[in-house]
Amino acid sequence: MKNLFFLLPLALLLAGCQTPTPPISSTADTNAYLPAPKYSRPHPRHIPVLYIVGDSTVHISTPGLVGWGDVISNYFDSVKISVVNCARPGRSSRTFISQGWWQQILAAARPGDFVIIQMGHNDSDQINNTNRSRGTIPGIGDTETNIVNGITHQPETIHTYGWYLTEYITDARAKGMTPILCTPVSRLPQPGKEPDTTRYAAWMRAVAATEYVPLIDLNRRALDRWQGKTPEELKTEYFSTKDNTHFKPAGAELNAECVVDGIRALDDCPLKGFLQQKP
């Protein structure tokens, strides 16, 4: 797949990983298999980089909506660390790897860097079709299945959600990075209905415990902050008017605050030393 990668102009590289997605046909969505750009380190100085891996709840380009990764750099000391939001809308833990985005982060990473990984919103989608093909097998075990991908028309072995999370952890550690898992922020809670993000958050907690990885429990922290508000109030204040997944600026800021609070609470994780006292 490396022969498909293209080098972006310098201005886009310096802007980090939030690069425009190339046009796609009307028969596919933003999860279409597109060439991944090569990343370069965003800052000329020899300071650590915090890479952020995620989906559209972490970075989104839709007017009026914001991802928490789009605003969290305000909480870090930019003299001491560079924050690069590499999240891509529509990606799952599987397709962020299979489309080449993760490999490009690894190619640019150096020992001493950090990576926060929040995936799960799109892992419950279909494993194989001609439109998305992004789902993973539910759970954290070693179950796998073989398919011929409906988009690439190539054989692919599909693993569990937990398996992919472990791949991020193993790869990051091999590069000398510090991996940090971040549970997927909840969708809008509905009376009598548990969001699918709840079980993905539970699986991520289990992986973090097994792999001894720092965990930011954004799912639980955000739900705690939402306590006392009705779904209607949450919708008006924080969520998109068009769906129950994406966030208005106020929602993204709250989620970012929850992530930062989670970082401050981590034991023996040097990332919290790069936070500003006040954003």
- Extents of the domains making up the chain: 2-17+49-274
> Given this model, what pLDDT does residue 259 score?
98
- As a dihedral over the C-alpha atoms of residue 103, residue 56, residue 12, residue 30, rounded to 10 degrees, the angle is 80
pLDDT value, residue 17: 56
Tokens found for residue 156: 């692919």
Question: What tens digit of pLDDT does each residue of 14-63 get?
Answer: 344 543 333 222 233 444 444 445 556 655 557 999 999 999 999 999 99
Strands (E), 134-218: 144-148, 155-159, 178-182, 215-216
pLDDT at residue number 214: 98
Question: How do the pLDDT tens digits run along the chain, 279 residues long?
Answer: 433 333 332 233 334 454 333 322 223 344 444 444 555 665 555 799 999 999 999 999 999 999 999 999 999 999 999 999 999 999 999 999 999 999 999 999 999 999 999 999 999 999 999 988 999 999 999 999 999 999 999 999 999 999 999 999 999 999 999 999 999 999 999 888 889 999 999 999 999 999 999 999 999 999 999 999 999 999 999 999 999 999 999 999 999 999 999 999 999 899 999 999 765
- Which structure tokens are listed for 208? 């973090």
Give per-residue pLDDT as tens, 259-270.
999 999 999 899
pLDDT of residue 7: 32
Give the pLDDT of residue 3: 37
Which residue is listed with tokens 């992530």?
259
Class of the CATH domain delimited by 2-17+49-274: alpha beta
Instruction: Give the per-residue pLDDT at 144.
Output: 96
Q: How far apart are CA 9 and CA 11, in angstroms?
A: 6
Amino acid 231: pLDDT: 95
| pLDDT number for residue 193 | 87
Q: Strands 155-159 and 49-53: what pairing?
A: unpaired
**pTM for the whole thing?**
0.86
Both structure tokens of 12: 């886009």
